[in-house]
Amino acid sequence: MNRIIRKAISSEVADIMHVIEAAKGIMRSSGNMHQWVDGYPSESVILSDIEHEVGYVVVDDTKIVGYFAFIPSPDPTYAKIYQGEWTDDILPYHVIHRIASYPDVHNIFRDIIDFCYAIDTNLRVDTHRDNTIMQHNLLKHGFTYCGIIYLLSGDERLAYQKVSL
């Protein structure tokens, strides 16, 4: 198997949406019923990622098996953190959003983190309180729990950071 990570292109949106739906299935089967609801992330969100050149696909041979957005700072929802603090709140950072993969494809998370960390050694991620799979993976791959942030919608998210100072 030959795995690569590269920027997504607009003609791949249908394949990306299949990956997104599979990831929602993983969330629901693990008890995470409240994250990625009401059509989020939609095709328009993915297309916006692609247009802004922050959408990436994970490809095994020729099949898209994963997706994520890798966005440079600042992220307005990370400006204030509650019940904690960022490990580093001075240096620029990148945020990883919308991590998704098929349930039967392994090591996607590791490969995404390795790819992103090779570009920027200051990474931030947030996740829903019910997303125990993501929380486990973040801690397993060197992220530190930092506190709580609130999305523009007002929804709470647990915030994590991995940084080499």
| CATH class of the domain defined by 3-163 | alpha beta
pTM flag (> 0.75): yes
Residue 165 has pLDDT above 80, yes or no: no
Q: Tell me whether the omega of the peptide bond preceding residue 76 falls within 30 degrees of 0, making it cis.
A: no
Helices marked H in 52-121 = 108-119
- Which amino acid makes up residue 8? A
pLDDT 10s digits, 40-71: 999 999 999 999 999 999 999 999 999 999 99
Q: Residues 109, 135: contact at Cβ < 8 Å?
A: no
Residue 1 has pLDDT above 80, yes or no: no
pLDDT 10s digits, 3-23: 999 999 999 999 999 999 999
Residue 110 has pLDDT above 80, yes or no: yes
Strands 94-101, 122-127: pairing kind: parallel
What is the arithmetic mean of pLDDT over 154-158? 95
pLDDT 10s digits, 72-83: 999 999 999 999
What is the arithmetic mean of pLDDT over 130-152? 96
> In whole angstroms, what is the distance from residue 144 CA to residue 160 CA?
5
Start-to-end CA distance of the chain, whole Å, equals: 35
Furthest C-alpha separation in the chain: 44
Residue 32 has pLDDT above 90, yes or no: no
Helices marked H in 30-67 = 43-51
